[in-house]
Amino acid sequence: MLEQYDLGNLMVLDIETVPQYATHDEVPEHLQELWAAKSQYQRKDETPEAFYGRASIWAEFGKIVCISVGIFLNGKKTGLRVKSFAGHEEKELLMDFSKMLSSQPPSIILCAHNGKEFDFPYICRRMLINGVPFPPHLQIAGKKPWEINHLDTMELWKFGDYKNYTSLNLLTAIFNIPTSKDDIDGSQVGHVYWVENDLPRICTYCQKDVIATAQLIRRYRGEALIAEDCITIVG
């Protein structure tokens, strides 16, 4: 599977998001009311205040604090180069990401795990909110599905089956992909950001997801994993 793609033409990405405010009390009153309405079916018996930690899931109430990208390197051995765009000023990191992506060839294919449901639309929504121009690779309005250069490793795993969600952690486990994701999980990112003020830790976590997704692509193609010494993290 995926043998028709040139790995050098793929860009793997992952994003980390947090609630826009540290606590529900800091949310402007009119947005508190809208948050209660937006989340009413998901929070069940929880109060809007108690459920606010999940606000990062929605682009209307969350923000992006890190985007990590990975590019495959061709050589005697396949390599991977990983870079992160991170910061407290969301507009600034989105501008930097947009400029980088705009400088890439139009043939570049964006790939993420659950990217079509989460990463790609979230990035587009936050760019629109922040007034950041879309790079060509995210200009999908009016395009037919087969004209959009986006790959989703979770969608590929479904093989047309839409009944369930399959996590990246589960796929790395069943494909025997070693991971070092033993620090935090997605549910803790907001706490690490707002309480611990540890953005570098979040970047490391995001980079590990990019590496895991890249390794999953290799497994999908029936190829050997990228050697650890062939993976480069750039500042």
Q: Which two tokens stand for residue 226?
A: 């990228």
Q: What is the reported pLDDT for 184?
A: 81
Q: Which two tokens stand for residue 178?
A: 């070693």
Which superfamily does CATH assign the domain made up of 7-14+70-234 to?
Ribonuclease H-like superfamily/Ribonuclease H (3.30.420.10)
Q: What is the reported pLDDT for 181?
A: 57
Q: What is the reported pLDDT for 92?
A: 98
Contact 74, 49 (CB under 8 A): no
Report which of 72, 131, 73 is spatially closest to residue 98, judged by C-alpha positions: 131
Tokens 């950041």 sit on residue: 132
Residues whose CB falls within 8 Å of the CB of residue 182, separated by 6 or more in sequence, listed in order? none
Contact 35, 61 (CB under 8 A): yes
Report which of 12, 172, 161, 29 is spatially closest to residue 101, judged by C-alpha positions: 12
Question: Which residues are bridge partners to 85 per DSSP?
Answer: 67
Averaged pLDDT in 10-residue chunks for the chain of 235 residues = 90 97 96 94 90 95 98 89 97 97 93 96 97 91 83 92 86 89 80 95 95 96 94 91
Question: Which residues are bridge partners to 72 per DSSP?
Answer: 80
Q: Domain coordinates of the chain in residue numbers?
A: 7-14+70-234, 21-60
Tokens 């069940």 sit on residue: 44
Contact 159, 124 (CB under 8 A): no
pTM: 0.94
| One-letter-per-residue 3-state SS of the chain | CCCCCCHHHEEEEEEEEEECCCCHHHCCHHHHHHHHHHCHHHHCCCCHHHHHHHHHHCCCCEEEEEEEEEEEECCCCCEEEEEEEECCCHHHHHHHHHHHHHCCCCCCEEEECCHHHHHHHHHHHHHHHHCCCCCHHHCCCCCCHHHCCEEEHHHHHHCCCCCCCCCHHHHHHHCCCCCCCCCCCHHHHHHHHHCCCCHHHHHHHHHHHHHHHHHHHHHHCCCCCCCHHHEEEEC
Contact 6, 18 (CB under 8 A): no
